[in-house]
């Protein structure tokens, strides 16, 4: 399987987003073959999620972060949408409510982390508290600068409790973002997703790039790695994320639990019932 670890931010390394091409698409040239592989990977993801649910010994947390129009919703729809909603859910994080603001910043995060057998996708996450909070000076530097270590400790705790964590930054460039904004303006079905605030935030593009670089560099660990995914091409984004998720899930070596009933006795009863109907 090509590329799964190519875009992983290795622990202890400094990430420079300007050196990573958001328009990259590897050596993939046959888009029909890509679509066929995506279909295969999607089916496999559904199988692995079912196996995790049946085994019920561990959980899986997928974190999606991106700038506006980076593709978080599209990733959920095209990559993770095949999973059974009985045991796979998406948690979106908006501006904190009054209740959430009355607690520490991780309180609203911890209560929606996955239980054993569950997959949870974070559409935005606890990283907002070292991203938007930092860029807009919502708390002093001496407060947000401590949060990298706190986040690492939090994710370590989850990992030690059986939660596997994978984090994706969907990397697009400024030109691609503007093109996607225009698509939203021109599509009545997407106009609700655009606002003046989106354009205003572009003024802070460089500040966000720096904030993401620090968050990824300081919080990519062996137990909760970051992947920087080239995302200008949506099909390539979907392909790489699917490959990464399948590889990680298969590495867990999950097993179906042994039955808790006498299968042979139930099979005997089944055959006896069939004979009675004849």
What residues contact 193, with CB distance under 8 A and at least 6 apart? 184
Q: Please count the structural domains in the chain.
A: 1
Q: How far apart are CA 135 and CA 208, in angstroms?
A: 7
Confidence of residue 275 (pLDDT cuts 50, 70, 90): confident
Residue-wise pLDDT tens digits, 63-75? 999 999 999 999 9
In a domain, 3, yes or no: no
Instruction: Answer yes or no: is pLDDT of 40 > 70.
Output: yes
In a domain, 2, yes or no: no
Q: What is the pLDDT of residue 165?
A: 98
Instruction: Answer yes or no: is pLDDT of 77 > 90.
Output: yes
Q: What is the pLDDT of residue 263?
A: 84
In a domain, 183, yes or no: yes
Instruction: Answer yes or no: is pLDDT of 273 > 90.
Output: no
In a domain, 173, yes or no: yes
In a domain, 133, yes or no: yes
CATH number for the domain spanning 126: value is 3.40.50.300
> Buried b vs exposed e over 215-224: b needs ≥16 C-beta within 10 Å?
bbbbbbbeeb
Instruction: Answer yes or no: is pLDDT of 4 > 90.
Output: no
In a domain, 258, yes or no: yes
In a domain, 188, yes or no: yes
Task: Give the residue among 246, 167, 164 at the shortest CA–CA distance from 212.
Answer: 167
% of the chain beyond a pLDDT of 70: 99
Global pTM value: 0.95
Supply the range of the domain harboring residue 171. 8-277
Residue-wise pLDDT tens digits, 193-250? 999 999 999 999 999 999 999 999 999 999 999 999 999 999 999 999 999 999 999 9
Q: What is the pLDDT of residue 29?
A: 86
Confidence of residue 144 (pLDDT cuts 50, 70, 90): very high
In a domain, 1, yes or no: no
């Amino acid at each position: 399987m090509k590329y799964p670890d190519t875009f992983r931010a290795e622990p202890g390394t400094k990430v420079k987003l300007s050196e990573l091409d958001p328009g990259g698409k590897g050596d993939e040239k046959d888009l029909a073959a890509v679509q066929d592989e995506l279909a295969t990977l999607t089916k496999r993801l559904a199988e692995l999620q079912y196996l995790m649910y049946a085994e019920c010994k561990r959980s899986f947390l997928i974190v999606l972060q991106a700038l506006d129009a980076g593709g978080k919703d599209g990733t959920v729809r095209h990559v993770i949408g095949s999973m059974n909603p009985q045991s796979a859910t998406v948690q979106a994080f908006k501006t904190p409510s009054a209740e959430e603001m009355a607690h520490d910043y991780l309180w609203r995060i911890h209560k929606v982390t996955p239980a054993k057998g569950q997959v949870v996708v974070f559409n935005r996450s606890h990283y907002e508290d070292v991203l938007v909070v930092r860029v807009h000076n919502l708390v002093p530097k001496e407060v947000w600068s401590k949060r990298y270590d706190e986040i690492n400790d939090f994710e370590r705790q989850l990992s030690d409790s059986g939660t596997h964590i994978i984090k994706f930054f969907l990397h697009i460039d400024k030109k691609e973002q503007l093109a996607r904004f225009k698509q939203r303006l021109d599509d009545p079905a997407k106009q609700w997703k655009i606002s003046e605030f989106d354009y205003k935030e572009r003024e802070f593009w460089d500040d966000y790039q720096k904030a993401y670089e620090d968050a990824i560099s300081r919080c990519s660990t062996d137990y909760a790695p970051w992947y920087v995914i080239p995302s200008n091409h949506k099909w390539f984004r979907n392909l790489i994320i699917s490959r990464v998720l399948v590889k990680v899930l298969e590495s867990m070596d999950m097993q179906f639990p042994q039955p808790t009933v006498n299968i042979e006795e139930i099979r005997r009863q089944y055959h006896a019932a069939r004979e009675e109907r004849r």
